[in-house]
Every structure is written in C-alpha cells, then in structure tokens.
A = this chain, B = another copy of it.
Amino acid sequence: MDFLSDNAAGVHPAVLEAVANAAGPVPQGYDSDPWSAELDGAFSALFGTPVRAFTVPTGTAANALALAALVPPWGGILAHAEAHIEVDEAGAVAFYTHGASHILVAGPAGKLDAAGLEAALARRRGDVHQVQPAALALSNATECGTVYTPDELARLGRWAKARGLALHVDGARFANAVAFLGCAPADLSWRAGVDTLAFGCIKNGGMSAEALLVFDPALAATIPVRRKRAGLMAPKGRFAAAQLLALIRGGLWLQNARAANAGAQALAAAAPARLLHPVEANEVFLRLDAAERAQLRAQGFQFHDWELAGPDAARFVVRWDQAPGTIAALADALVALP
C-alpha cells in the first residue's frame, strides 16, 4: 500500500495505446513526425493562446531548460525555500543556467506572496557586485500540496512583471491544481503572467515525457538548441508527443488528476487534526510522531518522512491509479491512531 510517490504510478491504458500506435517507422526521426507536428496546436487549443511545446524526459529538465531561457548565468531566481528546484533537482538549474542561483523566500504552506518577495528584494542592491534577480519560479500545485488560485497567481505575475522578472511555473502537478480549482488552464498560466510552464505528464498517467510550454514565442527561440545540446531531444520524438496528446485530448489529464485529488481529500477527511497544510492536490502532509509512523508502516503503508517539515511529519501521495481500497484502508488506519 504505497503512498510514496506519484512517480510510481502506472501508465494509463490510453497512453500505452498511443505509444503502440506510434510504433511503426516514419520517414524521419527527431520531431519530424505527425505526432510532434500536432503538439503545438493541441496545447494552443488547450490553453486558448499560441503555445510552443517542447517534450523533455523529466520535469527537472523542463524546469531547468525554461529557467535557462529566462535567466542569465549571473541571475537570481526567487523561489520558495522548499521549491523542488532547490530541494530535489541536484542543482539542475545552476547547471542549465550556467550558474544562476536561487534567492530563497519562506512562506506558509509552500506559497509565496508579494510581501515576502518584496522583503527579500529590499535586502538587495542592484549593482554589479550582486546576483541580479531575473525570475520568479513557483510550483503549482505547490510542494506542500496547496494550490495558488488564479487571483493569487495573477497578483504574483503582476508583481514580477513590474520588477522586470520572468515567471516560471513548475507544473509537475499542474493537472491537480486545475482539477482542484475547476478553472481554465489559461487562468493558471499566461493570463496570470506566466512565461513558461513545466506541464507534468509522467506523474499523471504518462510514461516518459513532460512538456515545457512557452507562451511567448520570442522566449522559445533558444530552447531547441538548448534542448539538443543537453541531450534531451528524443531521436524518436513521436513517442513523447503521443503520450502528451493522449493525456490532454479528451480531458484524460483532468480525469486522472481528479481521481488522485479525491483520494487525497479522503485521507484529509480522516485526519483533519493532523494536517500540516490544506489538502488541495494529491499530497497529504500529516503530523505523525515516530511511534505513529512506525505503526502505520507495520500495517503495510509506505510513505516518506518529511524532514523539511520537522521531525514529526510525513508525506502521503495519492496516485491517479491508487486503488480505492488502499485509500480507504489508510483512512481507517489514520482514524484508528490513538
């Protein structure tokens, strides 16, 4: 009964079928295939604006590639202290940007607000001796399983633009955010001032591809050569494109996210007093001491201790294909804790 990671989830049958349908030979390799040719159009339709979409093998690559296009080597990236790019990507952003650094800002429940960002900037000078803030990077859903609303995001977008900062969103769980809010994808992206979005697929029923979406064509100019040079440009690009098309066409991406979110809500309802953060996506952070964690594990539940949130914290991630019985079992076990 695994609640360790949505990276452990299965691949949705429709994705698998799409991959199988692309298995025959095509005239040319790389992105010169019918599936890749449809990608920009499909994402443009989904977001209601012209979008350039680039497939990459990981979310880490999507985030780092986007920030490399937005930030010079001497730039600073404002980010939450618990941001994935800071905590879990082994310095990928510094690698791809050739040395840009994170300017970390704290904020409750994984979220940043303009006041906190403003305070961080107030301690900095604009002179040549300092790293120059160049972008704001957020996760939505956040690393704490919470979600920025369109209004919150638009406020941050305006704040960023007013200071000449680009805005990138790590959307490894973008689907969960949109599913939670019931808003349009546009409301959590370009309409709110987002320049680039790492659009998650793998955690949400995909297999081996994510999409980096760029809402301003000028920003996309250097991405093809950056992607090639980083060894991220798939020789058989059709398999990446086919996965993404299968997910976004017909709304499968939202259907999967809704399933995962619902499981998280069920867990939250079982342990309301233990919640470290509001549950708005598919992650549940609970206050659980060592004995309680041991007891759950003894019952067969797997999950991560969450040292970032202190010694008595644990994270449970619900997958899109989590068996309902497993969720119910964990909910019962949480209720039954002394």
B129 touches A236 (CB 8 A): no
A235 touches B7 (CB 8 A): yes
Hey, which chain B residues are within 8 Å of A5, CB to CB?
A: 28-29
Known: A95-B99, A99-B94, A128-B90. A231 touches B28 (CB 8 A): no
- 0/1 interface trace, chain A 100-125, chain B, CB 8 Å (1 if under): 11101000000000000000001111
A101 touches B94 (CB 8 A): yes
Hey, which chain B residues are within 8 Å of A130, CB to CB?
A: 87-88, 90
Q: How many residues of A contact B (CB 8 A)?
A: 82
Number of copies: 4
Hey, which chain B residues are within 8 Å of A60, CB to CB?
A: 228, 231, 233
A59, A124, A225, A226 — most chain B CB neighbours (10 Å): A225
> A283 an interface residue at 8 Å Cβ cutoff?
no
20 new A-B pairs (CB below 8 Å) besides A10-B25, A60-B233, A61-B232? Answer: A4-B29, A5-B29, A11-B239, A13-B23, A23-B207, A25-B319, A58-B233, A58-B234, A59-B231, A73-B91, A73-B229, A74-B95, A87-B130, A90-B129, A95-B229, A128-B224, A203-B235, A208-B208, A208-B234, A208-B239
Find A7's partner among B72, B87, B132, B236 (CB 8 Å cutoff). B236
